[in-house]
Amino acid sequence: MTLTETEIKEIRRILRREPTPEELAMFEAQWSEHCSYKSSRRLLRLLPTSGRGVLVGPGRDAPAVEVFPGVAVVFKVESHNHPSAVDPYNGAATGVGGVVRDVLSLGARPVALLSMLYLGDPRDSRARWLARGIVRGASDYGNGIGVPTVAGDAWFDGSFNAQPLVNVACVGLLRVEELVSGRPSPGDLIVVAGNPTGREGLLGSSFASKPLGEEGGEETGAVPPANPSMERALIDAVLELTRTRLVKYVKDVGGGGLATAVVETASDFGLGAELRLESLHTKGELSPLEMLVSETQERMMLVVDQRRLEEVVGVLGRHAVPASVVGSFDESGRLRAYYRGRLVADVPARELARRGEVWRPSRPPAEFARAIKPLNHLPEVSVRDALRAILSSPNVASKRWIYEQSVHEAGSGIVVGPGRGDAAVLRLGAGDGRGIAVKGDANPRYTSIDPFRGAANSVAECYRNLVAVGSSPVAFVDEPNAGNPEDPEQFWYFEMMVKGIAWMADGLGVPVVGGKVSLYNVDHRGRQVKPTATIVGVGAVEDVGRVATIDFKSEGSAVLVIGTTLPELGGTEYLARVFGLESGEVPVPRPAEELRNSSYIARLIREGVALSVHDVSLGGLAAAVAEMAVLGRIGVEVDVERIPQRGCTRADELLFSETQARYVVEVPAERVGEALRIAQQLGAVVTVVGRTTAAGVVSVRSGERVLLEESLEELRELYEGALPKLLV
C-alpha cells in the first residue's frame, strides 16, 4: 500500500473507527500523489493561472480558454509514465483515451492530439521495444477514435530506458455557451456510461504513486486494456447530451475509479452521495471494493436530473453506450456506498477528496554544482562532422516515423501538420479563416542540469514555436515529471521546475491554466530519470492563410537571424553529441527578449514579409538553417561573421550555441529593407546572414574561408533516415 502509517492513523481519526477494506482502498486511491497532489499543491499555487480569456482554470478535468469572441479551446496534458513502462501499447493508448475524456467532460469536441515522448536509448533492446509499443499504442488509439496527432515532442536518452515518460495532450473546440457549467444538486442521479467495469487497473493511481519494481513486470495488472471503439461512441453520445443540455455535469472515471469521480464532485459542490453498487454494469461478478476503485477505461460519470433520465438513456442507447444508474447526490456531505443492502463505505466526502498538504523538504544535490561549472578548453572540431552528428541525433532528426503512424483524415482542418511548422495549425471550421496553433515542448537535458533554467526555457521554446507559425500565445498547460518526492534531492528538481515555469510564464504574460504532475519516475534502484518539464501551448491564429512554416520557399531569398548569439554551449545537443558531455551552464532564459523578438516575428508574418520562420533551439543556428534547407529542398549559404553575437570567439559558439529568443527568417530579397526598418522600429536585433541558392548545398563560411559545404541530399538522408534506422 502507498498509505503511510501516519495516513492510516489519520483515516482512523476521521472515521472514529477502523476503516473497512473498501474505505481503505478508496483512501489509498484518493490520497495517492496521482489524485491528491499532496506533495505538489503548495508549489503549484505559484503558477500564474488567471488572465484574459481564461474561462475554466485549474480544478476541473480540463481548463478552457476563449481564443476568439465566443470560441473556446479546451486542452489538457496527462502522463501515463508508469503504465507505459510495463505495458507500452496499452499504457500509451489509455493515456490518450483518458486525456480525450478530460476534454470531453467540458463539452468540447476533441480535434487534435499531441504526444510528448521521452524514450530510452534506441540501441537498448528493451528501450527500443518500449518505444515501438508506445508510439503504436498512442497512434492506434488516436486513429481508432478519428482524432489525429498533429504535434508533440520526442527525446531519446538512456535515462529513460526502463522508465519512459509518456505525456499526451488533447485539444478540443466548442462555442463558449456550450461549455458544461452546470452544478449537481441533491436528488440528481449518478449515471456511469461506457465500458462495463472489470478488474483492470485496480488501484492504478496508487501504482503510479510509487517507484516501479525491477522492469515493472509484476505490475502489468495495473494497466487496463484500451477500447477506442467504445471511446468513439462515448464521444458522440456525450457531445449530443451536452449540446442538448440533457446532463448537468460530466466527469471522466479515470484515476481512482468510480469512488474518486463521485467524491471529488460531491466535495467540489458541498454535497454527499449514495451509491448502490449492485446496479453498476460489470464484466462479471465483482466485489464492492473492485467496483469502487477499478480503473476500467472508457467510462464517464454523468450527473442527470431525474426528470431527464429517460431522454439520457435514449441517447446512450442510440449510440450503443452501456450505462447504469448507480446512485444520487444528497445533502449529507458523506459518501455512502451500499452493496445488496449492506453499507460497505461511509466517509465524509470532503476529507476523502482532499488529502492535506505534505511538506516535503528539498535541497540541491551535490551533482548540481558540479554540472553547471563553466566549460573551458573545448577542442575545436570539424563543423561538418558536428553538423552531421547533430542532424542525425534522434533528438533533432525528423520524427516522421512517429507522426506518420497517425492517420490525418481528410477534412480534419489541419492547416500546418506535423513536421512542417514549429507548431501545428488547425482551422476553426469550414469556411472560417481563423485557427489555433498547438505545440508541446521539453528539454530533459536542460532540466536535469539546471531545473529552473531548463523549465523556464521549455516555456520559452513553446512560446516561440507558437509565434513562429503566426499565432498569438494564449495559454499553457504543464506536466512536471520528477522523481521520488520523499527524497529531498529529487524533490528539489520538481520544486525548481515549477518555479522556473511560473517565472517564465509570468514574464511572458501567458497563464498556466492547468496541467498534471507525475512523480516517482525512478528506476528500480531508486535513481531519478531525467526530470522533465513538459509544456503544451495554444495560440490564436487570426488568418490561417498567413501562417509560416519551416521550409525555405524560393531561391535567392535573404536569410535573417533575429536575436543576439552568446557563447552558450552548456547543455547543448552539440556538447552531448560531439563530446559526450551533459554539463555546463544551461542558456540563460530571457523573457524580455522573447517578447521583443516575438513581436517582430508576428509583424513579419502578419504583413506577409516572412516566407519561412524557424526558431533556434536544439542544435543551434546551424541545425535550424539546415532543417529549413532540407525541408524546402533549397540550398543556402551563410556567413558566420555576419551573425549578431556578443562574446563568441569560435565558430562552434556561433553555429551551435542554443541561446534563447532567436529565430531564422527567410525574406524575399526585395523586402529586406522593409524587414530591417521594422526591426529598427521595434528594437529587435536583426541581421542578414546569407541567402538561399540553387546550388543544392548547405554552405557555411567565415568571410572567405569555407567551414562547411555539404550536399543537401546527404543532409536530408541523415535527417530523415536516422530514426527509422534506430527503431525499425
Q: How far apart are CA 247 and CA 238, in angstroms?
A: 9
Q: From residue 275, give the alpha-carbon distance in Å to each of 55, 137, 196, 205, 354.
A: 32, 34, 17, 21, 20
Instruction: State yes or no: is 408 an active-site residue.
Output: no
Instruction: State yes or no: is 281 an active-site residue.
Output: no
Q: How far apart are CA 407 and CA 365, in angstroms?
A: 44
| Residue 181: Cβ within 10 Å count | 15
| Residue 234: Cβ within 10 Å count | 26
Q: Which amino acid, one-letter code, is at 166?
A: V
Burial label, 642 (beta-carbon count in 10 A; 0-12, 13-18, 19+): middle
Q: Are 651 and 567 in contact (CB under 8 A)?
A: no
The residue from 34, 281, 377, 408 that is catalytic is 34
Q: Are 456 and 474 in contact (CB under 8 A)?
A: no
Burial label, 646 (beta-carbon count in 10 A; 0-12, 13-18, 19+): exposed
SS3 label, residue 37: coil
The residue from 80, 82, 281, 319 that is catalytic is 80
Q: Are 142 and 152 in contact (CB under 8 A)?
A: no
Residue located via cell numbers 486494456: 225
Q: Are 419 and 439 in contact (CB under 8 A)?
A: no
C-alpha closest to that of 699 among 709, 688, 691, 690? 709
Angle (CA) 708-712-713 rounded to 5° is 135
- Answer positive or negative: Cα dihedral of 326, 327, 328, 334: negative
Phi, psi for 324 (deg, rounded to 5): -150, 145
DSSP classification of residue 144: H
Q: Are 347 and 24 in contact (CB under 8 A)?
A: no
The catalytic site residues sit at 34, 80
